[in-house]
Amino acid sequence: MQKLSLDALAREHLERAGAASTGRSAETVHGGHERLLRQTLLALTAGSVLAEHANPGEATLLVLRGRLRLDSGGDSWEGRAGDLLIVPQARHSLEALEDAAALLTVVARP
């Protein structure tokens, strides 16, 4: 069994994101591209954006810290710490409205 502190990882990756020219930092904490389930901790500084991209499967975003906005096809959803956003099955983008960390869970399409 393995135990991870998402709070500690969020803190660490927010520091890394603050030092990165992109304003982003990420780490896969479970699974990976060779598995169906993948969980990735994302950290973004305020104003950082993950440009529009396709959804590789079913996905959710659990906001751990800060505020994020998920945009897709003219619709947008704002998430705060504790919110779970269901990622639409369409192209979408993500913007940090303030320094934020989230756990992205994806189940890839076989």
CATH at residue 86: 2.60.120.10
pLDDT of residue 29: 96
**Kind and range of the H or E element at 104?**
strand 100-108
pLDDT of residue 42: 97
Domain hosting 66: range is 6-108
| Residue 58 one-letter amino acid | E
Distance CA 109, CA 58 (A): 8
pLDDT of residue 1: 82
pLDDT of residue 32: 78
44 lies in a domain?
yes
pLDDT averaged per 10 residues, the chain (length 110)? 93 98 96 87 97 88 98 95 94 97 89
State the total domains in the chain: 1
Question: Closest by alpha carbon to 105, among 63, 55, 58, 45?
Answer: 58
| Residue 109 one-letter amino acid | R
Distance CA 48, CA 69 (A): 11
Structure tokens at 68: 């994020």
pTM: 0.93
pLDDT of residue 86: 94
1 lies in a domain?
no
